[in-house]
Copies of this chain bind each other. A is one copy, B any other.
Amino acid sequence: MVVILKNNPDKGQLNNLVTWLSGKGIDVHTTVGASQTILGLVGDTTHLDIDLISALDIVEAVRRVQEPYKNANRKFHPQDTVVKVGDTLIGGGNLTLIAGPCSVESEEQICEIAQKVKASGANLLRGGAFKPRTSPYSFQGMRQEGLRLLSLAKKLTGLPIVTEIMDISQLPLFDDVDVIQVGARNMQNFELLKALGAQRKPVLLKRGLSSTYEELLMSAEYIMAGGNDQVILCERGIRTFESYTRNTLDISAIPVLKQLSHLPVIIDPSHSAGKSELVDALSCASVAAGADGLIIEVHNDPPHALCDGPQSIRPEAFDKLAKKLKKVSEITKL
């Protein structure tokens, strides 16, 4: 951390600061210039509150040098984290395909789709039971009943389940769920993150619509600080000025997050674009950029889906896409 002091800082306050920092095990190196003095802080600054230091009268600005996350940081954990879900490995060079409908709608629907995506090579089944919707008047998901239907589909196909939690109080219902998803809108629901850090199921953590890479990793850090290091990062499109697509897929998130962190990175091309005709291109791009996996919406009857229909592809399209993705993966992995 680098602390830039205002001109002619009060000597007493400066001494107080240096003493306080030393007490926290931080070495302070001072660079005095003609018009500016800079303090270089050396040591573990992860636990220093940057806001606190910025607020001091003698401080003009503080610049971080070290990342503020530790458990999620590749510098301290150079090896890829590989999350094991049933027989599936996520991360570490494997390509994981998660597929299924936006919402669970009926036993027939979820079971049929589960069987089809399994036949096409999907490794996990996704499906929403609790649905975050912008409007209180839109379909809110089948909730507990949806979880029951997901369990049936899991029993039928053997596919592990990924589904979204919206509130801590729902956690007891997630016993048969294999990977708990935190949606973009809850990425900074810190109480929920703490609760998920206190349990041991893997967590699929989606990036918030306007969250930086660092904020995403800090949210992962919340979970990991609780003792659960089974976190899968998921980029699902960010909010920008461009409104033609629902969100803007930030493809650079893949190489950047994999450089900064050892956690697996997967992509949600369906929510990124909000248009089914873009899923193919965005999926290929994601795998080519090094993604560890994809979570794709597949529906047997998109026009009648109870939500998010426009972005779902049909099982036949998924089947063709899955084959292409394997080939892209083989080339770009080299």
In the complex, what's the smallest C-beta–C-beta distance from A64 to chain B, in angstroms?
9
Inside 8 A of A289's CB, which chain B residues have their CB? 281-282, 284-285, 288
Instruction: With CB as the reference atom, state the residue of chain B lying closest to A138.
Output: B49
A14 at interface by CB-CB < 8 Å: no
Say which residue of B168, B241, B288, B307 sits within 8 Å of A49 (CB atoms): B307
Contact B65 A36 (CB under 8 A): yes
Q: How far does the alpha carbon of A325 sit from the alpha carbon of B250 in the complex, in Å?
A: 20
A214 at interface by CB-CB < 8 Å: yes
Contact B65 A61 (CB under 8 A): yes
A303 at interface by CB-CB < 8 Å: yes
Chain A interface secondary structure, helix, strand, loop or mixed? mixed
Inside 8 A of A54's CB, which chain B residues have their CB? 309-310
Q: How far does the alpha carbon of A107 sit from the alpha carbon of B98 in the complex, in Å?
A: 52
Provide the A203-242 mask, 1 if CB < 8 A to any CB of B, else 0: 0000001101111001001100100000000000011111
Contact A251 B249 (CB under 8 A): yes
Give the bracket for the number of chain A residues in contact with chain B: 35 or more
Inside 8 A of A47's CB, which chain B residues have their CB? 137
In the complex, what's the smallest C-beta–C-beta distance from A313 to chain B, in angstroms?
12
Q: Which of A47, A250, A303 is most buried by chain B, counting CB atoms within 10 A of its CB?
A: A303
Q: What 10 pairs between A and B have smallest CB-CB spacing?
A: A55-B309, A33-B42, A31-B40, A210-B210, A29-B31, A288-B288, A284-B288, A285-B289, A167-B191, A285-B285
Q: List 28 A-B contacts (CB under 8 A).
A: A32-B42, A38-B40, A38-B42, A51-B310, A54-B310, A55-B302, A55-B303, A55-B310, A56-B303, A57-B303, A133-B190, A135-B221, A136-B221, A169-B191, A185-B189, A186-B189, A210-B241, A212-B242, A238-B240, A238-B242, A238-B248, A241-B243, A248-B252, A249-B250, A255-B281, A287-B288, A288-B332, A331-B331
> What residues make up the interface of A, taking CB atoms closer than 8 Å to B?
2, 4, 27, 29, 31-34, 36, 38, 40, 42-43, 46-47, 49, 51-52, 54-57, 61, 63, 65-66, 68-69, 132-140, 166-169, 185-186, 188-192, 194, 209-210, 212-215, 218, 221-222, 225, 238-245, 248-252, 254-256, 259, 272-273, 277-278, 280-282, 284-290, 302-310, 312, 324, 327-328, 331-332, 334
In the complex, besides A2-B63, A33-B40, A249-B251, 19 extra interface pairs with C-beta distance below 8 angstroms are: A46-B137, A49-B307, A55-B303, A55-B310, A68-B137, A134-B188, A136-B221, A136-B225, A166-B189, A212-B241, A214-B244, A238-B241, A240-B241, A240-B250, A252-B278, A255-B278, A259-B277, A327-B331, A328-B328
